[in-house]
Amino acid sequence: MVPVKSRHFLLGMARASVRDMRTYQALSTGMALGLFGLLAAFSGCSGSVQNNPGCDYNGKHYAEGDTFPDKDGCNRCSCGERGEAQCTLLACDTDPPPDSGPYCTVGGKRFAPGQQVSNDGCNICVCSSSGDVGCTARDCPDPGPSCMSLVSELRATLASIQKCTAAADCGQPIPGSSCGCTRDLVARKDANLAPYLEQKAKVAELGCETDGISTCDCPSTNGFACISNVCTWNYAKVEPEPDPVCESYEAAELCVRGKASGDGEVIAAGDPLQVTVRSSGCLSSSCSKVVEASCTIASSADFDVKANFCVANTAKPNQGCTADCGTAHADCSFGQPLTAGEHQVKLGSIAVGFQVPSKLPIGGLCAGIR
């Protein structure tokens, strides 16, 4: 039999054990719930990263970071982090590969979906994803006739108004068809020039290159002609004027020349001999034509010079001539270099002595016939 105090002690111990067990259970339950919540939180974060939509492109799904060919078979694409496909924009002229999906065939050439098939400057045709070609349907302005067609029409009209069978059919100059001289193209007398002139104005307005103008020569004419069934001018044959008869003139002055230097002319050893010969007479610049003026130098004991002058009188009847009284002149030189010392140049009775080296007056050292 247990004493009373002992029973009270044992009862207190039992009650304390029950309280401690309940406390432990409560703590265990709380820790378990906390750990579950923490795991749930981590599980939720992991789910948000893995729930990436990726990219859907050209009927296929790609994950973020994937690279894949563009539908044109030339450019490359990559899948971005927001689910968008980013593609290069290279200009590709190659046909799509056989396994690239739908394509369009036009004129034996293959086009990928989205690729432009044609562009006439107004409407555009593009290959669709179904393999059909779709075109815009804009109301396009009339481009009008081309330069080629206008010029061809202009030439045909010109040929029709110039067509003839005899010179008597011709006689109507076509205004504005001259290159700038006095000769226009010629049409038939009965030809209506209005259509041709209207077409020519249209061609000029569009800046088209064309012919339809005369050649840039204006020889004398004597009426009209029909040559190879085309109206034209009857060009007169003009014989060239004969050369005027010239008259010989004697040499009147001989000058030894040097290199220009300041206030004179210098001759040095090694220089070539240079001379100027002037003719006799009193020549008018408006009525005289120098047909010949020449000279030569021969080497002998002295330097011998020969000169020829021939001048024509070109004065017309009742024509006044200027009284400027000029002369003809000729320049010549001797190829061998001069040596130092005394030298002499002779032309007939005219003689000029000179020293090498020396300085001559401006115009040279001269002698002549008075």
Residue 19 has pLDDT above 70, yes or no: no
- pLDDT tens digit string along 177-224? 876 556 788 999 999 999 999 998 888 887 777 665 555 556 677 889
Q: Once rounded to an integer, what is the mean pLDDT over residues 154-170? A: 93
Q: Once rounded to an integer, what is the mean pLDDT over residues 86-93? A: 74
Out of 13-17, 155-159, 237-241, pick the least confident: 13-17
Confidence (pLDDT) at 191: 95
Give 6's pLDDT tier (boundaries 50, 70, 90). very low
Which letter, b or e, does each residue of 55-92 get, where b requires 16 or more Cβ atoms within 10 Å of its Cβ? Answer: bebbeeebeeeeebebbbbbeebbbeeeeebeeeeeee
Amino acid, res. 169: D
Report field, pTM of the whole predicted structure over 0.85: no
CB contact at 8 A, 51 and 41: no
Cα–Cα dist 199/208, whole Å: 11
Amino acid, res. 312: A
Q: Once rounded to an integer, what is the mean pLDDT over residues 320-333? A: 89
Residue 270 has pLDDT above 70, yes or no: yes
Alpha helices in 164-305 (DSSP H): 194-206
The length of the chain in residues reads 370
Q: Which of 1-10, 24-33, 234-243, 321-330 has the highest mean pLDDT?
A: 321-330
Confidence (pLDDT) at 10: 38
pLDDT over 90 percentage in the chain: 35
Confidence (pLDDT) at 366: 95
What is the separation of C-alpha 326 from the centre of its chain, rounded to a whole number of angstroms?
52
Cα–Cα dist 163/69, whole Å: 68
Residue (of 267, 359, 363, 354) closest to 302 by Cα position = 354
Residue (of 349, 267, 342, 268) closest to 305 by Cα position = 349
Confidence (pLDDT) at 68: 85
Q: Average pLDDT, whole number, for the chain?
A: 79
Cα–Cα dist 169/187, whole Å: 9
Confidence (pLDDT) at 106: 85
Confidence (pLDDT) at 206: 78
Confidence (pLDDT) at 38: 39
Cα–Cα dist 127/112, whole Å: 6
Amino acid, res. 267: I
CB contact at 8 A, 330 and 310: no
- pLDDT tens digit string along 28-62? 444 444 444 433 443 333 333 445 578 888 888 88
Out of 66-75, 97-106, 217-226, pick the least confident: 97-106
The DSSP code sequence of 139-153 is -PPP----HHHHHHH
Q: Once rounded to an integer, what is the mean pLDDT over residues 231-256? A: 84
Amino acid, res. 228: S
Confidence (pLDDT) at 317: 83
CB contact at 8 A, 341 and 356: yes
